[in-house]
Structure 1
Amino acid sequence: MSRILLIDDDTELGEMLAEYLDGEGFEITVVHNGHDGISHALSGEYAMALLDIMMPGIGGIEVLRQVRAQSRMPIIMLTAKGDDVDRVVGLELGADDYIPKPYYPRELVARIRAVLRRADGGRTSGIAAATHISDRQDALLERGLITLEPARRFAAFDGQEMDLTVSEFNLLETLMRARDRALSKNELSMTVLGRPREVYDRSIDVHMSNLRQKLQQASGDASLIETVRGFGYRLRQGS
């Protein structure tokens, strides 16, 4: 049973959601303020967190900032419908996905399971599932000076470990498995986020920007990931 942390000041919603998720096989702990949310999230006792953006006192963005500074735990943001600014800021700070309120509980469960599969290194549909690889390749992926060990969730550039979130790791893994082939944003959304890309959805672009920054910090090269205008992305040939 996966332990899920719900950080939301809406006590009634928290109780209802906890009851529903318990019936889906999750063990839920609910906290109602940002201070408690941070301490629980950093305890190491939870597989992932659901984080409401709008909370009094320490808001969800600040909770996310503090947790992400010390932990790679998967985090799904719960956002107000149409609040695109908070979504983008949250993704830039390292949230793995978001779901707007009001949401259907079944959709939330699907998002939770998709993120947990990715965190466990499970293969989703798309490039990773379709690509036949040997046991050794599955244990070690290399492209230029970039090294990935999917089973260990370990990423390095020239031997130096990179601190990647779940979504950033899976994005880099997907690009490496595709080799020189350009991948569309729709394809990346299905493979990396486990869901179709929505209209005006910038999630893949923000995760890609974060990944580029970390690769640039490690390598000094800002062009390891190429943008294919109007289509998507690919790793630079020879990288």
Structure 2
Amino acid sequence: MGLAIYGYDRLIIVMAKILLFEQNEALADKLASYINGEGHQCYQLRNENHIVDWILLNHPDLVILDQASLAGNAIKFCSEIYYSSSTLLIVTSCSQQGVDQLIALGSGADDFIFKPYLPEEMVARVNAMLRRLQKLAAMRHRVQLLEHHFRVKYADKEVQLTEVEFNLFHLLYSHPHTVFNREDIRKHMYKDHRVVSENTVNSHIRNLRRKLKVISPQHMLITSVYSAGYKYQPCLDQK
């Protein structure tokens, strides 16, 4: 997914690429206008034979398919889209038969909307689905501390730390971008407040960095600030 995201207060706005397949041109144009008005990019297709190829080539974040516009091939397209891509899929239909909804959802659709619907309803559903998707992606790329096991997790990888290394990382992690000098770190490394040398601090920092590199090889989570100390540098996709 290629979602671009920005936010203010508690509202998250997700910018997405959306494909709309709707043969009712008046409805399609109106819906596309609403979707674009939300800051998304809405593309329209009129030929059903181009749908799957377009998706594979352009990688949209979400697809809206009208069941009646697919000349009885809605289930086929739901399955093809589901198995060939990771895009979200909303199916719309004039049919009021609940079985059509169940079949579509069982064939790969993520949502099903009965017609007629308000464009505002469609946009609200689109935004809700994209926010959930973004939330899942953000959680997958968030550094997590498993306190009772002295482990750190990032994406699908975990690394085991010693108790001292975990205490050290917890201190830096809890205060992102804050520079701690060696004296600050020495006071927090051991719960019994034993006196340790600067060389000991440096050694633990080296070992901790080496282990963290296993789970985050492209990003240095602990950075040095010349003549000042160390700080935790969150990954680019963390707040």
What's the TM-score once normalised by structure 1's chain length? Answer: 0.49
Q: TM-score, normalised by structure 2?
A: 0.49
